[in-house]
């Protein structure tokens, strides 16, 4: 990678590398490392960065959401660390401009695949950790906290269809009684599927299916919401 690109990328992520080769490795896709040393591309750094990112996010969520129970914190962490969200952040910070990959990995219409961008951003975290330690890696990730907050804020309404449905029906009628009733359970104990019926003021409004009671209820609420909004 050219020295100007290295400087620009360092400015982008907010960290100056002592070992510039680590940064180059972090943005080099295996498609350009074929037949070379495993340290010529980002796969090993990605493995390390994934763990560092998980630790930083867990600590931030623990401090930022003191009323959350373990399950709620785990859900937030999974949402923030999933590939699609990391790819979104990678695009926001213009990481695509610095990734070195074969032409087959790039599409003129959509750019790099989400999975590639996810790997690259994790590799950069791993590279910062190796070069400057945990605290510097934490600082780099902290620069992206506003982007992580956007994800949580955007999901707060999207992932709460039961609350949305409650508000929508209450706006239509003060006499609003919503109930969720399990009508079937299928599959072995470790892999069950639940079907839930949503009852509104004694009337069956729709059904939802999910791998847990909560997901089945949320899916039922989404279905009923879609019906209401289409009227």
Q: Which of 81, 93, 96, 91 is nearest to 148 (CA)?
A: 81
- In the annotation, is 72 catalytic? no
User: What pLDDT is attached to residue 167?
Assistant: 81
Residues 84 and 62 in one domain: yes
Residues 170 and 118 in one domain: no
> Would the CA dihedral through 24, 30, 32, 38 be positive or negative?
positive
Q: Which residue matches tokens 């493995």? A: 47
pLDDT tens for the chain, 231 residues long, are 788 899 999 999 999 999 999 999 999 988 875 556 666 789 999 999 999 999 999 999 999 999 888 988 998 999 899 988 999 999 999 999 999 887 777 665 567 888 899 999 999 999 999 999 999 999 999 999 999 998 887 766 555 788 888 888 877 776 788 999 999 999 887 778 899 999 998 899 999 998 888 888 988 998 898 887 765
Please, what's the largest Cα pairwise distance for the chain?
70
- In the annotation, is 122 catalytic? yes
Residues 209 and 110 in one domain: no
Residues 32 and 136 in one domain: yes
* Structural domain for 128, as ranges: 3-158
User: What pLDDT is attached to residue 48?
Assistant: 96
Give the active site residue among 50, 119, 131, 197: 50
Residues 32 and 146 in one domain: yes
User: What pLDDT is attached to residue 33?
Assistant: 58
Residues 151 and 206 in one domain: no
Residues 124 and 180 in one domain: no
Residue 195, phi then psi, degrees to nearest 5:
-115, 125
Domain CATH for 173: 3.30.160.20
Give the active site residue among 114, 122, 131, 217: 122
Residue 16, phi then psi, degrees to nearest 5:
-100, 120
Residues 30 and 129 in one domain: yes
Q: What is the pTM of this model?
A: 0.67
User: What pLDDT is attached to residue 231?
Assistant: 58
Domain CATH for 103: 1.10.1520.10
User: What pLDDT is attached to residue 159?
Assistant: 58
Considering 158, 191, 210, which residue would you say is the last residue of a domain? 158
Residues 119 and 212 in one domain: no
| The three-state (H, E, C) secondary structure of 52-105, written as one string | HHHHHHHHHHHHHCCCCCHHHHHHHHHHHHCHHHHHHHHHHCCHHHHCECCHHH
């Amino acid at each position: 990678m050219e020295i100007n690109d290295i400087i620009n990328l360092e400015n982008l992520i907010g960290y100056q590398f002592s070992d510039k080769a680590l940064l180059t490795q972090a943005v080099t896709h295996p498609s350009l490392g074929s037949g070379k040393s495993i340290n010529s591309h980002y796969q090993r750094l990605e493995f390390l960065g994934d763990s560092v990112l998980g630790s930083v996010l867990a600590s931030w969520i623990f401090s930022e959401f003191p009323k959350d129970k373990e399950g709620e914190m785990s859900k937030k962490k999974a949402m923030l660390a999933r590939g699609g969200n990391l790819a979104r952040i990678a695009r926001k910070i213009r990481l695509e401009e610095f990734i070195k990959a074969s032409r087959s990995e790039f599409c003129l219409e959509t750019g790099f695949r989400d999975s590639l961008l996810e790997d690259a951003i994790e590799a950069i975290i791993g590279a910062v950790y190796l070069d400057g330690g945990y605290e510097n890696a934490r600082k780099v990730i902290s620069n992206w906290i506003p982007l992580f907050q956007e994800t949580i804020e955007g999901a707060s309404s999207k992932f709460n269809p039961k609350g949305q449905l409650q508000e929508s029906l209450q706006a239509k009628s003060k006499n609003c009684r919503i109930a969720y009733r399990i009508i079937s359970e299928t599959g072995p104990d470790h892999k069950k599927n639940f079907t839930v019926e949503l009852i509104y003021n004694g009337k069956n409004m729709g059904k939802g299916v999910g791998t847990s009671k909560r997901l089945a209820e949320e899916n039922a609420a989404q279905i009923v919401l879609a019906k209401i909004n289409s009227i």
